[in-house]
Every structure is written in structure tokens, then in C-alpha cells.
Structure 1
Amino acid sequence: MPIDSFSVDETQANLRKPGAIYPDGRKTRDRLGKYTVVGSQPSFTFSRDDLIFTIGSCFARNIERKLASLGFQLPTMTLEVPAEERVSETPNEILNKYTTAAIVNEFRWILGIDAFPEEGLIAVSENQVCDPHLHPGLPPVSRARALERRSEIHALGAVLPKCRVIIVTLGLVETWFDGRTGLYLNGMPHRSALKADPERYSLRRQSYEDIVADLEAMHDILSSHGNPEFKMIVSVSPVPFKATYSGQDAIAANTYSKSVLRAAAERFCTAHDNVDYFPSYEMVTLSERSAAYADDNIHVREEMVSRIMELAASRYVPGYQAIEADTAKWVNKDKPLLLYQDALAARAQGNYEQAVELMKYLDDTGLVAKAKVEPGEFYLRYGTTLARAGYAGLAEPYLARAVSLLPGQALPQYKLGLITARLRRREALFHFQRAVELAPDSVEFLHRLAIQYEREKQPDLAVRTFEKVLEMDPNHDGAHTGLARLKVRAAPVALVPAPPRA
């Protein structure tokens, strides 16, 4: 049975669309190259006001970090487990879900559709257990801690129905099955469990039909328990598995895994008007390997993730502008300290576009620390440079990060106030108030607070604040002008009697 069909007229129209012709190396050398770009047609839009719920393989964590840096709200990033309970530095890697069956299970548990099966916890010693439905590499913990951690994860069920956008990344099809609970797991059980009870567990490779059924189950759950206006973006993770238990060559086994997931995703997306497929898998795997993957040939480079998610934002978020740069021409590309100095020099010369490109590269590639600059200072300069380059919407999240990293400093609050005021956000008033609290002797900050009071239609506070400015600087032209403006607005309007009728 075909997944869709097209009339003759539709086929001819489709053939004329951009990207319909596969790139011919004799004619087009830019589409397939170091950073391959694949077209897509979003069926909906979203904004920074929409909550985004991400779930899936480790690539979902990459997506989270980049979207958060762009100012989007991701509730899953609020979950942080202690460092001793992690495999890497990612605070919420405990949420990684590598199979579609594991995603379905988690949706049902966090939304309270089913109770989490406590008998599914695997005892690995007298006092410690493993949760096979979480990241398979996590160290064992006490049973009490395992259940406590489960409660922390299930608390996300309260916010999931508020999330309008659900991003799902599909990881692999090799799935471990627990014969005692009748549930698929998130990875291979602890080796001690396999040794103690080998009959209990088995490895199953899911089929195309299995994956489609799981995707449909996710959609059904979200339709009945999620946001009434939810939209899904489905992608296939470009991260291969490290090893296969199937007996095949790992390359062949990974190809089967990704092919089935990709085919099922296409079938699923064509069946639902509120589901899009985003081709991050194709963009990574068809780019130059050295640009796309880290040296382990498994994990995707942060710069590649950044490019992909900025492209996604430019397609889904109205008004979003992606920033591109030809990094190959940079003399100091591999010297973070010199690259940052180049950015500061460009900024000082008023070349804000170039400064933005350089700072963006340092941030995207995780080289800020190697540039020997404090993160708070970096994001303050990056945010203000974006603002001067005309990217006010992009500047806001970076200045917000500077505020969080430098909570006791007034300047980040003031700069964030300027940007949020430019974007007509109500929180601008709070940032100006906070800046004045932190730097009460600043005439500049106090004057801008008075202006914001005026804009927020609080004339009494505006007048008092302008007067405070004049107490500090009697010759402040802006304060005199502001007071005069407010007095004119407050003056009663004289009523002129109409002339008598003849």
C-alpha cells in the first residue's frame, strides 16, 4: 500500500520545486559538501513563547542545548541529576531514549496513564539497583534513590500537556525485552542481571511495522493527554550505535536501523497534518565526515548541530535570521584566544557582522573557555554585539545568559533591559529596576528606568524617577525633557465654547 499518491499535474509541479533535482557534481557543488543543506517544507510555525518538549536519543540533548541558547523554553532541561549519577557532563542525559518503544513507555508513565513497574528495577547488589528504562550506562543507586529519581522524571508530566511543540529523535531499532514485565527496555540490562537470569531478557530488532505502531501510539497519547494544539517534529538521529548485538557488521546493522527509522518516519509524517519530518539525519550524514562528526565517528560536532538547528529555527520561527560565515578564510580559526581578540578588534572598528560571526563560532564549537574569557563576560559582549549588528531577537537569549552568569552585576541587567524594551517585552521594566538596585549611583540606568515607567504608563513613578536623576545631575537634559513632556500630558485640556448659532 503506497504512503501517498500524486496526479500528473502534481508531479510536474513538484519537479519544478527547489531541490527536486539530486545535486549533480558537474553542475552544483554547494548542496552536497562540507555542510550539506536539505530542504524541508514546515507545515506550522512556533515562537520563543511556545514550550518545547524534546525526547529521544542523545541527539535530543544536542538539540536542547542549541535551542536553549537561542532563547527557547525547554522544560526537560530543568531536570538535573547529581554528577555522580551521570555518564557524561550533561545534567539531564538520564532522559535519553534510544528506541521508540522506550519513548512510548516514558510518555505513558510521566502522564500517569500507567504506573511505573517497580518490579522492573534490577538488583545488582544487596543495596543497589539499576533502572533499565533509563540511560543504560548510569551507575547503580539505592532502591529509594531510584524511585525518588523516577518521581523527579514523572514530574515532567505536569508540563508536557502545556508544550505545543514536541521534538522526537529516533535512535535505533535493537531493543532489549524484559520477559518478566513484558516491557521493552531502553538499553542492555546490567551485565550482572544478564548473568543471573539470562532467560529473562532477549534482544529484538524492531521492524518497520513496529516503529510505525510506536509512532502512532505516541500520537494517540499526545492527542488524548497532550496540548490540544500540539505539533510534532520527527527526526532520525545521525548518531550510530557503538556496537551491534545482531551478529552483523556494525555498519550494515546501523544502516538497517537508520533506514527502517527513516522509512517509518516518512510514513508517520504523511499520515498526520500536525507532524513534520526535519532532515537533520540527511544533513549530517551527507556532509563531510570531518566536519560532521567528532573523532569517535559517533557524536556530532557542536558546530554541525548549531548550523542545523539555526536552519530549523529560520524555517519554523517567523522573522528568525540564521547567521552564516565562511570559516575557511579565518587565519586564527584553530586559535581561540586570537580568534576572540579578532572579534573584539572587529567590534571596536564597528564591523559588528564580522564580530558576530567570530563570536558565534567560538560559542557553537565550545571554545569560549579556551579563549580565556569568563563565560558571563563573553555572553554580555556577544549579546551586545548581536544587538549592534541588528539581531535584537538573537541578542536577548545571550544577554539573559549573561545575567544568569553575572547575577550581581548591573550592566548585564541594563543591556537586557534595553533589548527587551526594543522587543516590546514587559519584563524590560524589571531589568531596569534590577540594574538600578545593583548600581543606584548610575544616572544612565536611573534615567532609562524613568523612560520605561513613562512607556508603561506609570507617570507618577516616571516623574519621581526623573526628579531623582536631576537630584544627581541638575543639568541632565534628558530628565528635564522628560519632566516637561509628562507635565504637558498631565495638563488639563482647556475647553473652548462653541460659537452661538445664528
Structure 2
Amino acid sequence: MLLQWLTWALTETPVPAEVWEKDGRFYDPFRPGVEPGGFVSAEELYASRRDTLAAIAAAVRGAQVFVFTLGLTEAWQDTATGVEYAVCPGTVAGRFDAGAHGFVNHGFGALMADMTAALRLMFRANRGLKVLLTVSPVPLTATASGEHVLTATSHSKSLLRAVASELVRAQARVDYFPSYEIISHPAYRGRFFAPNLRSVLPGGVEHVMTQFFRDQAAAFGDAGLPPVPPPPETVTEMDEPPEPELTEAEELRCEEEILAAFAPDRHHG
């Protein structure tokens, strides 16, 4: 998805004209949640997408550091063109077609190739740009791979972490910050996760950012850096997560139903 958006924003490659419709509203297949209620027309959708692409191009060309979090390896794509969707067609809007839509779980080679191509596009647009990679510590709630969610999470995160390391080795302008390790390391006994064992608590985010800015100050001096919050040892109670719109059981049930409806073995023999 990163490579797709950068290609559309930084080259003359046209964006597919595909639009999803539901109840008279229009949804962008590549960011269906940007307007939760949908757009009033396809023209409004296209105009919003053009603004987004212009903003991406301006951000890349004007940035000093591009921070990107590697999060997922699983995706849904158009089997004829290889274009990837943000979600499985038919979940938020649109219609799932087993002959046109397919599930893919990207391997190491594909991930490396896409990230290398994405970096090439950004460095071509901004020769002074540096890139900081992280890996999301948030585990999968469900998977369409057919594996157990625990092994699917381990597989996905291991690949992404390995890709980050290889990119740092291969690219002089790429670095990595270990927010994934800080949050998920056994030494912290899972205390940075909410009761659902998936969402990262605000206290965990604060701890990660504290370490990040301390590292920056140690390497480059503290001029211009924001004040460092107190270390976690002085925090007696972790912040509570925001109240969710759905309960944990409801959220999990929704995701399981979606995956059951669009699992590969249901449509592809």
C-alpha cells in the first residue's frame, strides 16, 4: 500500500477508477474509512483523493525525516492487476468477487522489493530525505491465512522486523527505532497492553517516546527537543485506554464474521 500511494503521488501512474457504492454513498477502495459515511458522489471521492495525493507528494518532498511503521503482511488484491485494497471488498462496501479478488500474505522477498521500490521513489523526490522505520507491536486480532492467530502474528511480525533490519543494512539513509521491542519485550510483563492484550496503552506510547527523545538528545544534543516526561518508574498507574465504541467481544465477533465470510477456502476450493 505504501508503494501504491507513493507511485500514484510521485509518478504519472493513474489511480484505478474503481469506486465502491453502498446505499447510495460512494467509498474509496484504497481508503474506505476516510469518510465513514461515504462520499455523496464519485466526483467528490476523486477530488478528495487528488487532494490526498498532492499532500503525500508535498510531504515527501518537504520532509527531513519520513517515519513509517511496518504493520501487516496480509492483504486483499485485484487478481488481474495486483492492485491492493485497504480492506477485503464487500466488508465496508463494494462486492466480493471470488474470481476477481484474492487474499495474499506477502513473503520476505515481496516485502523487501516493495519497500526498496518505495524508498527509491522517495529518495528520488527528496535527495536529503532520511527514513526511520518501526514495526507495529499490535498483534493480529484475526487472520485470513488459515493459521492460528498467534502463529500468524508471529509470522507477520518476524517478516516485518527482518525486512526493517535488512533495509537498515542496505540503505545508508534508513534507520530503525525499536518501539516494537520496547512494547512487546517480556521484561515489561505485558503492562503496556490494554486488557484486550492488543491495544497499546497511552502509558506505553509515552514510554516509547521518552526513550526516543532521550536517544535523540544523547546523539544530537537536546536543543529544540520537547521536554522528556517522567520515566515509567515514577508512574504508579498506567493510563486507561479510551472507551471503545464496541466491546472487546463485539469487536472480535465482527472481525471473525468478516474473515469467515471471505476466507480463501470458502471461495477458492
The TM-score, its normalising length taken from structure 2, stands at: 0.77
Partner of 1:247: 146
Partner of 2:21: 123
User: What are the superposed Cα offsets for residues 377-402 of structure 1, whole Å, 9 maximum, x if unpaired?
Assistant: xxxxxxxxxxxxxxxxxxxxxxxxxx
Tell whether 2:188 aligns with 1:282.
no
Cα deviation for residue 228 of structure 1 reads 1.7
Partner of 1:149: 48
Q: 2:198 aligns with which of 277, 286, 298?
A: 298
Q: Map of 1:306-325 to 2, 5 A cutoff?
A: 306-317=206-217, 318-319=221-222, 320=225, 322-325=228-231
Q: Which amino acid aligns with 1:129?
A: F
Q: Which amino acid aligns with 1:324?
A: P
Partner of 1:485: none
- CA 1:114–1:172: 2 relative to 1, 3 Å: same
Cα deviation for residue 262 of structure 1 reads 0.7
Identity among equivalent positions (%) equals 25
Whether the aligned pair in 1 keeps the contact of 2:75 and 2:105 (CA below 8 Å) is yes
In 2, distance between residues paired with 1:366 and 1:306? 13
Whether the aligned pair in 2 keeps the contact of 1:111 and 1:158 (CA below 8 Å) is no
Structure with greater Cα Rg: 1
User: What are the superposed Cα offsets for residues 230-251 of structure 1, whole Å, 9 maximum, x if unpaired?
Assistant: 1111111011222101111101
Partner of 1:201: 101
In 1, distance between residues paired with 2:33 and 2:80? 18
Whether the aligned pair in 2 keeps the contact of 1:194 and 1:201 (CA below 8 Å) is no
Whether the aligned pair in 2 keeps the contact of 1:136 and 1:189 (CA below 8 Å) is no
Partner of 2:160: 261
User: What are the superposed Cα offsets for residues 234-284 of structure 1, whole Å, 9 maximum, x if unpaired?
Assistant: 111011222101111101101100011111111111001111011111111
Cα deviation for residue 149 of structure 1 reads 2.0
Secondary structure in 1 matching 2:69: strand
Tell whether 2:59 aligns with 1:159.
yes
Cα deviation for residue 132 of structure 1 reads 2.1
The structure richer in helix per residue is 1
Whether the aligned pair in 1 keeps the contact of 2:78 and 2:101 (CA below 8 Å) is yes
Q: Map of 1:473-484 to 2, 5 A cutoff?
A: none
Q: Map of 1:370-389 to 2, 5 A cutoff?
A: none
- CA 1:247–1:136: 2 relative to 1, 3 Å: farther
User: What are the superposed Cα offsets for residues 163-215 of structure 1, whole Å, 9 maximum, x if unpaired?
Assistant: 010001001111111135431222222336444x2211100010000111011
Question: What is the count of residue pairs matched by the alignment?
Answer: 229
Cα deviation for residue 111 of structure 1 reads 2.5
Partner of 1:103: 2
In 1, distance between residues paired with 2:190 and 2:32? 28
Whether the aligned pair in 2 keeps the contact of 1:174 and 1:203 (CA below 8 Å) is yes
- CA 1:238–1:303: 2 relative to 1, 3 Å: same
Tell whether 2:234 aligns with 1:327.
yes
Cα deviation for residue 366 of structure 1 reads 7.8
Q: Which amino acid aligns with 2:13?
A: D
- CA 1:139–1:170: 2 relative to 1, 3 Å: farther
The structure richer in strand per residue is 2
Cα deviation for residue 289 of structure 1 reads 5.0
Which one has more relative contact order, counting CA pairs under 8 Å at least 6 apart? 2
In 2, distance between residues paired with 1:269 and 1:253? 25
User: What CA RMSD, in Å, does the superposition of the two structures yield over aligned residues?
Assistant: 2.4
Partner of 1:216: 116
Q: 2:38 aligns with which of 134, 137, 140?
A: 140
Q: Which amino acid aligns with 2:120?
A: D
Secondary structure in 2 matching 1:169: strand
Uncovered stretches (5+) of structure 1, i.e. residues with no partner: 1-101, 335-364, 368-502
In 2, distance between residues paired with 1:242 and 1:134? 20
Q: 2:72 aligns with which of 172, 192, 202?
A: 172
The TM-score, its normalising length taken from structure 1, stands at: 0.43
In 2, distance between residues paired with 1:184 and 1:220? 20
Cα deviation for residue 135 of structure 1 reads 5.2
